[in-house]
Structure 1
Amino acid sequence: MKKSIRNYLIINIILVIAIVVGGVIVFSYLSAKDDVLYENEIMQAYSEKNIIESVDLVNDGLKLIDDTLNSDTEKLLQKYLDAYNRSNASPENMDLEALSSTFSKEINRTVNLYIFNADGIIAYTNEPHVKGLDTNKQFPEFFKSLTSVRLGTRSVKDRVVHSAQDLNDSTVSGELTKFGYIPTPDHRFVLETGIKSEEFADSRTQLSYQEMIEKIGKINTDIEKIQVYTVYQFCSAEWYAKGRAAKQNITTSPLIQKAIEERSHLSEINSESGNLIKYLFIDLKDPDAVSDDSIVVVIEYGKERMESLLQGLIIKFVVLSFFAILAGLILAFVISKRISISIRTIMDDVRRIAGGDLDHTIGGMNTEEFSDLQLSINQMIKKIKQYSEELERRRTELLVASHIQQAILPTKISIPEGYDLAAINIPALDVGGDFFDIFSREKGTCTLVLADVAGKGVAASLLMALSSTIIRVLSRWTIKPIEILQASNNIFIEDSGTVSFITMFYAMLNISSARLQYVNAGHNPPILYRSDGSIEMLDSNGPVIGLMDTASYEQKNIDLHTGDVLVIYSDGVTEAMNSEGIMFSEENLCKVIRENHQKSATDIIQVILQEIRDFIKEEPQSDDITIMVLKK
């Protein structure tokens, strides 16, 4: 059942209102969503900045505490070195157990002694469970710092760090120890002292990464997990928003090691939960210390709060949309009732006119606006009638010209063996004056023709058809390019007078010898890219066809080599103009050819066309474009 005009009005008014309201609602939702996401990013950035600043504060505080033992460490290192000198530089003659006991009593703390050889191995120690530890294999960065100490002349007091528990402890998760290092005078060894004390654990209880991450985790409710890893991937502190049960089956992410190696921040999306995980590398390396106290803080942000906020936004805007469309429905009923009568009258008259009765006029209207509409439509119908007759005549003319042009241009290109050949013609109007031809009149040869008839449109296309026919006919009687162009000039003047002219590049390729004979009749000089990277221009040495009765042309020869690219083109390529009046130019064309010479002939053409489109942007094509590419 067909709907009335009024119903159509109601439907369309509601549809317009729905589209407008929908667009406004979608835009408002997206804007609100962006605000929520932006606030979330700000909160994340704030939390991460807070973590980095807090870590720096904790680290500075611990360093002050650690440095209080520097004096005792220096005294022990000097006594340790004196004992080494008394042993005639022979560690095997040293009683490290006795020295350890003596040093421990002096400072009232446990002191362990170690001697590293040049290979970074603990060769001597009073702690047998770490003897033979190879720092070069297990801790390469530590070994580099240790080697610097061995080759130097001064002692180094390290921070209080975790020690290795045994030979297999790759995460260095042993007791907290204050290490000191001093090179032997012969630079064969590094003597190391390690001071252990229960005070270290007490001081780190008051200045703790654990307490810091717990506070930050409670401030930002989006955080589900925070972990702190040393450069040896030992987890020194961790916090979970959902309790410790969430820590089961935890595996270390490879990105932790990557962040340590690159010493940079990284991030990833959890493949299971979709949560964002940040890896913050905080550089705490002291240039005067051997150990690296840098850490990686792992933060996992949950999505629950964000998803809840976005869901609330959707519900809010859906409700607003409903009431807005309801109001539009009421408005549509009121408006449609007032204008449906006049519109129905107009539609009836227009329907009759649309049926072909262009002599019919729109009836009288009952309002000033509709009366103006009546007059305008009647005037429009009269002009439409005139235009339709003219357009039908022009359409027939263009259709004939288009068929002629399509019939003349090659539909399939025969590519010579050992070569790559492609061509394209894009008229500026429905028909154009450019044309190309590719044919073979003698075995082992291939003839290439590209011409540009002055002007555009139907007239140019007809002259193009004449020129193409002349070339084809003449090539049956002679194969010499110079003779064909001289004869073409004479015939063209006889048949068409001097009302127009043609620029033409005519070439014949000997396929086996790769020799190209050509004549250029006032055409744009084709560009020959050589395989060695040089570029040659096949200069124009002859006049255009159709202006001079006694035109004289010059035939030239060139040899093509593997990798050479010959680009023949019409002036629509180099004279393509952008909105600022700047032309594409031969310089730009040469640049495109040089950068894309390794591609196929078809691809080179497509790249040139794309560069032209990018250059002129929204400007219309002002002239016919024809391009032919021959590649050896």
Structure 2
Amino acid sequence: MHSAVDESRFERELQIGREIQRGFLPENLPELDEWDIAAYFEPAREVSGDFYDAYDVINGDFLAFAIADVCDKGIGAALFMALIRSLLRQAAVADEGLTAVPEPVGSAGRPLPGAALALRAVRTTNDYLTTNHLHQAYFATLFFGVVDTRTGELIYINCGHNAPVVQRATGEQLSLLPTGPALGLMRDAHFDLGFATLERGDLLYLYTDGVPEARNPAGEFLGEGRMLAMLADPGRAATVIERMRKAVAEHAGVGEQFDDITMLGLLRHPAGPGEYQRTTEPRDDGGDGP
């Protein structure tokens, strides 16, 4: 039988684990001219298998970003999350000079530097996981993207993750469907590149399944349809993320949070430099992202 001292020590260790895990999330999201970035993170338990990340690459002209969901929950998933996040970031920032590739090329006929970066990050991470941790039966869905902040050209690999949505300023919606299997699931997996362009006023919304699968006390899901409908209302990245957070909270009511909830929004300003003021959303240590 566990004593009160044992339970107190275990709770303290879980709290330390939560604090360490939050240290793996970016303390501040990049601040880029003509771009707006916001995020939200709320684990279902003390620790989470979800994560998001964003950082400048290739001399600061490109933004790399990721969102992922490790299978299962709890301490094991959290440790696997920390490993994947570290592997991805290390691979993405290593040897940045080796980024140009002969194919594919952009609309202007020039090499796309983010292509080699994305492929290197995802392939090396998958190789490490399947070589060293396949027997542990953990895997993760992941969306990893690299956007040229000057042109809005986006290169991505979707490893079996919920399809992020590009909410066009025109009102149209584009889903960025999977281009490969989940990370850590199979050796020598093939990952294709996906391409899109974020025009002025377009918002890219990334999420984990804790958003559409949020349940109310009656067991009803929030649903992808309602989530997509709420994206149709324009707003800054932080405004859209907060709108989604409130919708999930209101739908769940007093019900238990069954899954981790993570969101990332990336908006290309609808106007030129100096015409679209940036506001900074403070980070909430109680669970909100930047």
Write the distance in 1 (CA, Å) between the matches of 2:34 and 2:149: 8
Q: CA deviation at 1:447?
A: 0.6
Q: Percent identity?
A: 28
Q: CA deviation at 1:404?
A: 2.1
Write the distance in 1 (CA, Å) between the matches of 2:168 and 2:186: 35
Write the distance in 2 (CA, Å) between the matches of 1:610 and 1:516: 29
Query: Which of 84, 92, 109 is the aligned partner of 1:467?
Result: 84
Match of 1:513, SS state, is coil
Match of 2:57, SS state, is coil
Match of 1:416 in 2: 32
Residue 484 in 1 paired to residue 101 in 2? no
User: Which whole-Å deviations, capped at 9, do the CAs of 1:378-423 have from their partners, x for residues lacking one?
Assistant: xxxxx7xx43133134124313322321211001111221011111
Query: Which of 207, 227, 236 is the aligned partner of 1:569?
Result: 207
Match of 1:344 in 2: none
The 8 Å contact of residues 92 and 120 in structure 2, kept in 1 or not, is answered as: no
Residue type of the alignment partner of 1:504: L
Alpha carbons of structure 1 residues 534 and 440: separation in structure 2 relative to 1, 3 Å: same
User: Which whole-Å deviations, capped at 9, do the CAs of 1:503-544 have from their partners, x for residues lacking one?
Assistant: 000000101111011000000000111111111100112100
Residue 435 in 1 paired to residue 55 in 2? no
Residue type of the alignment partner of 2:93: R
Residue 387 in 1 paired to residue 25 in 2? no
Write the distance in 2 (CA, Å) between the matches of 1:389 and 1:420: 47
Normalized against structure 1, the TM-score is what? 0.38
Match of 2:110 in 1: none
Write the distance in 2 (CA, Å) between the matches of 1:605 and 1:387: 42
The 8 Å contact of residues 404 and 465 in structure 1, kept in 2 or not, is answered as: no
Match of 1:287 in 2: none
Calculate the aligned-residue CA RMSD, in Å.
1.4
Rg (Cα) greater in structure? 1
Structure possessing the higher relative contact order (Cα contacts under 8 Å, 6 or more residues apart): 2
Match of 1:397 in 2: 13
Gaps of 5+ in 1: 1-382
Write the distance in 1 (CA, Å) between the matches of 2:220 and 2:12: 37
Write the distance in 1 (CA, Å) between the matches of 2:18 and 2:252: 26
Q: Equivalent residues in 2 for 1:230-309 (5 A)?
A: none
Q: CA deviation at 1:472?
A: 1.3
Q: CA deviation at 1:561?
A: 0.8
Write the distance in 1 (CA, Å) between the matches of 2:3 and 2:165: 46
Match of 1:448 in 2: 65
Moved over 4 A (4+): none
Q: CA deviation at 1:496?
A: 2.0
Match of 1:475, SS state, is helix
Residue 606 in 1 paired to residue 223 in 2? no
Normalized against structure 2, the TM-score is what? 0.81
Write the distance in 2 (CA, Å) between the matches of 1:483 and 1:458: 28
Q: Equivalent residues in 2 for 1:568-607 (5 A)?
A: 568-595=206-233, 597=234, 599-607=235-243
Q: CA deviation at 1:557?
A: 1.4
Match of 2:169 in 1: 531
Write the distance in 1 (CA, Å) between the matches of 2:163 and 2:40: 18
Match of 1:617 in 2: 253
Number of equivalent positions: 246
The 8 Å contact of residues 155 and 195 in structure 2, kept in 1 or not, is answered as: yes
Q: CA deviation at 1:497?
A: 2.1
Alpha carbons of structure 1 residues 613 and 391: separation in structure 2 relative to 1, 3 Å: same
Residue type of the alignment partner of 2:27: T
Write the distance in 2 (CA, Å) between the matches of 1:389 and 1:411: 33
Structure holding more helix per residue: 1
Residue 458 in 1 paired to residue 64 in 2? no
Write the distance in 2 (CA, Å) between the matches of 1:568 and 1:604: 11
Residue type of the alignment partner of 1:481: A
Match of 2:279 in 1: none
The 8 Å contact of residues 579 and 616 in structure 1, kept in 2 or not, is answered as: yes
Match of 1:496 in 2: 133
Match of 1:493, SS state, is helix
Q: CA deviation at 1:435?
A: 0.4
Residue type of the alignment partner of 1:463: F
Match of 1:345 in 2: none
